[in-house]
Amino acid sequence: MNILVTGSSGFLGKNLCLTLKQKDFNVLPFDRDTNIPLSELVPQADFVMHLAGVNRPKDTSEFYQGNAGLTEQLIGLMKLQSKHIPLLISSSIQAELDNDYGKSKKEAEDAVFEYGRDTGNPVFVFRLENAFGKWSRPNYNSVVSTFCYNVANDIPLTIRDQKAEVTFVYVDDIVDAFISCIGKEGNDDYCHVKPVYPCTLGHLADTIQSFRDSRKTLLVPDMSGELETKLYATYLSYLKEDEFSYSLVSHSDNRGSFTELVKSSDRGQVSINIIKPGITKGNHWHHTKNEKFIVVSGTCTIRFRKIGETEIISYTAYGERPEVVDIPTGYTHNIENTGDTDAAVVMWCSEIFDPEHPDTFAEQV
């Protein structure tokens, strides 16, 4: 199936075109830089997804030319075809407002509904909330993209009203909703993408700033909600290309090194322990704190002794055959590098280390 996508290089268009191609649709892209005119593309189309539009022109007349005018031109070309061509248009909740942008989008919507009535072809008019996601242009498409760009580039945020609430919708959900219309009958009512996420500007700013700060605190960003998960994915797409990586603090001595990797307030922390050959680390036990050891390189022997008893239990773990060794409470334990090369051990601990309450008691195995 050939899908004509107008505005194909824009924020929504780029995301949509890539997903359509992944689903094996043939995409006919069109934007202001396309060399092939609409008059040649429309006859090839089996479905038209009209995303092109103008929202920040130099002159208000461009609203009507780029929104209503282009839509009417597209529809005129579609009516000349002697085949069934469904039409989907991305509009905006601002079409309800009495401003030039809103009025131009409303004219475009009305033209699409009229096309459906005149031809009997399916039409889908989506009134979108404030869209966000990767490749959205800062200071143009969305406050989310502006905040993400500013925070990633250490530019201060300007917020007039921290309590102002805005409703957002994620680009992947928009794309899924658009693609789901293929093969369906249209309707004479507006389509809306779900889910939507109401959020105050203050919470939005705090959340995005916490993503930046997580590199210093090592705390895994709070992604307990769908909005936070999608915001974090969006924020990462705005990182400077020379700042994808960040350094960690490594504590080294003649025994090896210990480096904390990530932490979570309710899931503990993950660290990497490098152990030199012949070196033993540990010889302590915990009341409540528990750990998991995974040898990922080298060979280590992990030994346990239940507190108050004499029997010693040992496990040998190999990097070429990774396995998880649980460290139960009430057992003093150590880990020895019994190989010939440095050993690397990934360690998960059930809680972030608290020097005031370490729950760690020295005792030889």
Question: What DSSP assignment string belongs to 85-124?
Answer: --EEEEEEGGGGSSSHHHHHHHHHHHHHHHHHHHH---EE
Q: Give every CB contact of residue 167 below 8 A, 6+ residues apart in sequence.
A: 129, 130, 196, 197, 198, 199
> What tokens were used for 243?
């700042």
Q: Residue 305 — φ and ψ, nearest 5°?
A: -145, 125
Q: What whole-number distance in Å separates Cα of residue 192 and Cα of residue 50?
A: 16
Q: Give every CB contact of residue 186 below 8 A, 6+ residues apart in sequence.
A: 86, 116, 121, 122, 123, 124
Output the CA torsion sign for 74, 76, 80, 85: positive
Q: What whole-number distance in Å separates Cα of residue 133 and Cα of residue 150?
A: 15
Give the pairing type, strands 280-285 and 331-337: antiparallel
Query: Which residues share a beta bridge with 252?
Result: 257
> What tokens were used for 358?
């370490």
Q: What whole-number distance in Å separates Cα of residue 303 and Cα of residue 336?
A: 8
Give the pairing type, strands 123-128 and 190-191: parallel
Q: Give every CB contact of residue 228 below 8 A, 6+ residues apart in sequence.
A: 207, 221, 222
Instruction: Spot the catalytic one: 64, 101, 149, 238.
Output: 101
Question: What DSSP assignment string belongs to 347-363?
Answer: EEESS---TTS---EE-
Q: CA triplet 281, 365, 324: central angle to 5 degrees? A: 60
Note if 315 is an active site residue: no
CB neighbours of residue 143 within 10 Å? 21
Query: Which residues share a beta bridge with 169?
Result: 131
- Kindly list the catalytic residues: 101
